Amino acid sequence: MNPKENYLHEFFRIFFANKQLVKRVFLVFAVIVLLLPLVLKQSFDITAQVIVQSKKLSQGDATTSLTVDNATFIPPSLADMETESNILRSPALIRQTISELRDKGEYTPSPGVFYTLVAQPFRRFVTTPLREYVINPVRKVLGLETDPVRDTALDALTQQAIDSLKVETLPGSNVISIIYSFGNPHQGTEFVAALLQNYLISRQALQSIDLPQSFYETKKHQYQVRLDGLEGTRLTLLESVASSDPKEEITFRLNAINTEEQALNLYQDRLLQSQRWLEYLKTALANATNNKLTDYTFPYTFTTTVDNVAFEDREIKQLGEELTTQVTRYNNDLAVFQPSSEPMLLTREQIGRTRQQFLKIVNNRIQERTNDLAVVSQVIDQKTARIATFKNRIHQLQETQSKLRQMDTEIDALHAAFSTYAQRFAESSTTRSLDNDLSNARILSPPYEPTDPAFPKPMLIIPFGLFTGLLLAIALVYVREFFDHRFKHPAQISHELGLPVLLVINDQNAQPLNPYKNWTVPSFMHWVRN
């Protein structure tokens, strides 16, 4: 081949020189492509979607009730979505779904060529004579468990469903997409619908906190007994201190102590004041007793002040004024009369009587104040004892209140726990449908029966198949040309042998024209042969 030759010319030379081979290969491949959509088994894609709304985390424990406020909802993570996908594609779940549908007669696909040609004959041979009469007796003699006959058809259908089921999480979302390829659209739709229902039931069973009814009844009885014991202990504590509300009584006792202490302070001040005045009066009385006849009045007026108002002793005042008048008159008469005269003697006698009477009254007043001082002392002692009693009572109530606070805390916790178990018991005793359950997964898009098969697609297979056949035919021609070392044109002789070409004789046999009418079968067959 001359390197300077036009490659496009070379391509067309080879193509047209082998056009008969190209036509035949292309036609064979075209026939195969046209028959392929008819031969291939149809497959329908049944689609569905599941949305995982959120992940519920209960914030409660054994001492909190099951309310909405005690739960937190957070978006599901990638790990949560992968877990949900694994539950959906679980072989056990798929096997259970197929088994249920087969029992209802709603799932009868062909397991495949391998099962029909290989697995089924082998199963018939092994399970009927060999397993029953050879394998199982030998295992029984050796003390081993006999090998049960497995449903290999169900195994094959399960594996086929696993291979045909595509479960994946849509990127950046909490939606799981399910695509199931199956030959029968109705049975495939039923399978996907049953699989979704079993999935919801299975995940609910995995996440459920329900326990047997006997457990709840036992816990309920235990909490009732414990609650009755705590309430009885609390009542016993209240009865022991004879109080229905220690906190309120403590407040009352504190107010009483405050009042008593204020009164006690006043009485103590009054006692101190009375003691000092009493000492002063006794001293003044002793001095007045030893005074001379002509000395003047007593140095104390016995005035009592109440609410800033002074009250005088009228009897003391009158006697004091009378004694002062008599002493003044006696002193005045002493300048006129002789001390031994009869008027002066009468006056002295009168002053003595008045003086004795005055001192007697003063002494009575001192006795009265002494008695009042004793009474004040007794009142002080009584109030001190009363305050001490109040304090002892408060101390007793405070100890009881501390114990009651602990009891109330335990009772409140027990009430909350009892409420939790009672609510869970009520929830577990109530039959709820799956749609009304607290599951956070929902079927976003239920499966529907498709009308058009997903495979094969003739409008896609035929054009690409014809194009592929044309490329394959051209490739075979070039392979044939590569291994064909004969000379095809004069330039090859000069290039390979280095000899000049003197004469070229063309083939004078012209190709016969197509004698048949165009676009007819004989015309097409003549075109294929030539």
User: Bridge partners of 84?
Assistant: none
**265 and 393 share one domain:** yes
Question: Is residue 245 located within the same domain as residue 320?
Answer: yes
Mean pLDDT of 308-313: 70
Helix (H, G, I), strand (E, B) or coil at 439: coil
With vertex at residue 409, the alpha carbon angle to CA 407 and CA 411, rounded to the nearest 5 degrees, is 65
Residues 330 and 403 in one domain: yes
Whether residue 152 is found in the same domain as residue 251: no
| Per-chain mean pLDDT for the chain | 78
pLDDT tens digits, 341-391:
888 888 888 888 888 888 888 889 889 889 999 999 999 999 999 999 999
pLDDT at 433 over 60: no
Mean pLDDT of 390-398: 91
Dist. CA 220–CA 422, nearest whole Å: 7
Identify the domain boundary among 380, 400, 429.
429
pLDDT value at residue 262 = 93
- The answer to the question of residue 482 being in a domain is no
Q: What whole-number distance in Å separates Cα of residue 205 and Cα of residue 200?
A: 9
Strand (E) or helix (H) holding 56: strand 55-58
Contacts of 296 (CB under 8 A, 6+ apart): 324, 327
Does 201 share its domain with 261? no
- pLDDT computed for residue 146 by the predictor: 58
Q: Identify the residue with better confidence: 425 or 44.
A: 44
Does any domain span residue 297?
yes
Residues 199 and 336 in one domain: no
Give the domain-ending residue among 412, 429, 446.
429
Q: Are 40 and 456 in contact (CB under 8 A)?
A: yes
Mean pLDDT of 112-126: 50
Least-confidence region, from 62-71, 91-100, 330-339:
62-71
Residues 183 and 276 in one domain: no
What is the tens place of the pLDDT at every residue in 84-103?
888 888 899 999 999 888 88
Terminal-residue alpha carbon distance, the chain: 28
Structure tokens at 25: 């290969």
The answer on 303 and 188 residing in a single domain is no
Using an 8 Å Cβ cutoff, are 455 and 43 in contact?
yes
- In terms of DSSP bridges, do strands 165-169 and 175-182 run parallel, antiparallel, or are they unpaired? antiparallel
**Quick check: 482 pLDDT over 50?**
yes
Question: Cα(25)–Cα(15) distance, rounded to whole angstroms?
Answer: 13
- Domain around 184: 41-208
13-40 per-position pLDDT tens digit? 777 777 777 888 888 888 888 887 777 7
Nearest to 97 by CA among 185, 189, 7, 175: 189
CA nearest to 108, candidates 196, 182, 198, 192? 182
Q: Are residues 390 and 273 in the same domain?
A: yes
Distance CA 145, CA 165 (A): 35
Distance from C-alpha of 178 to C-alpha of 46, rounded to nearest angstrom? 8
- Distance set, CA 326 to CA 212, 322, 349, 351, 358 (Å): 113, 6, 11, 6, 13
- Quickly count: other Cβ atoms within 10 Å of residue 157's Cβ: 24
Q: 2 vs 196, which has greater pLDDT? A: 196
- Ramachandran bin of 52, using left for φ above 0, alpha for ψ from -120 to 50, beta for the remaining angles: beta
Q: Is residue 63 included in any domain, yes or no?
A: yes
One domain for residues 379 and 318? yes
pLDDT for the residue numbered 255: 94
Report residue 123's pLDDT band, with 50, 70 and 90 as the boundaries.
low
In the prediction, which pLDDT does 121 show? 58
Give the pLDDT confidence score for residue 495 in this predicted structure: 76
The total domain count for the chain is 2
* 337 located within any domain: yes
Q: What is the pLDDT of residue 509?
A: 64
Domain boundary among 429, 449, 475: 429
> What confidence score (pLDDT) does residue 207 get?
65
Report the C-alpha gap between 26 and 426 in whole angstroms.
75
How much is the average pLDDT of 64-91? 72
Distances (CA, A) of 361 to 275, 303, 313, 425, 441: 19, 14, 11, 91, 106
Say how far apart CA 366 and CA 272 lie, in whole Å. Answer: 16
Whether the CA torsion 66, 69, 72, 73 is positive or negative: it is: positive
Query: Do 49 and 176 reside in the same domain of the chain?
Result: yes
- pLDDT tier at 497, thresholds 50, 70, 90: confident
The predicted structure's pLDDT at residue 42: 78
Q: Look at residue 287 and tell me if it is in a domain.
A: yes
Same domain, 75 and 137: yes
Instruction: Please state the length of the chain.
Output: 530
> 449, 445, 455, 444: which is closest to 164 by C-alpha?
455
Strand, coil or helix: what is 449?
A: coil
- Partners of 48 in beta bridges: 178
Provide the 3-class DSSP secondary structure of residue 303.
strand
pLDDT tens digits for range 229-273: 888 888 888 888 888 888 899 999 999 999 999 999 999 998 998
Of 325, 328, 318, 329, residue with least CA distance to 361: 318
Is residue 302 within 8 A of residue 316, CB to CB? The reply is yes
User: Can you list the alpha helix ranges (DSSP code H) found in 105-151?
Assistant: 113-114, 120-125, 136-141
Percent of the chain residues past pLDDT 70, beyond the cut: 75
Examine residue 22 and state whether it is found in any structural domain, yes or no. no
Question: What does each C-alpha distance from 309 to 304, 313, 372 come to in angstroms?
Answer: 8, 13, 20
Check residues 323 and 68 and name the one with the higher pLDDT.
323
Tokens representing residue 260 in the block? 């008593």
Identify whether 227 is part of a domain.
no
pLDDT surpassing 60 at residue 69:
no
Longest dimension (CA), the chain: 213
Quick check: is 357 in a domain?
yes
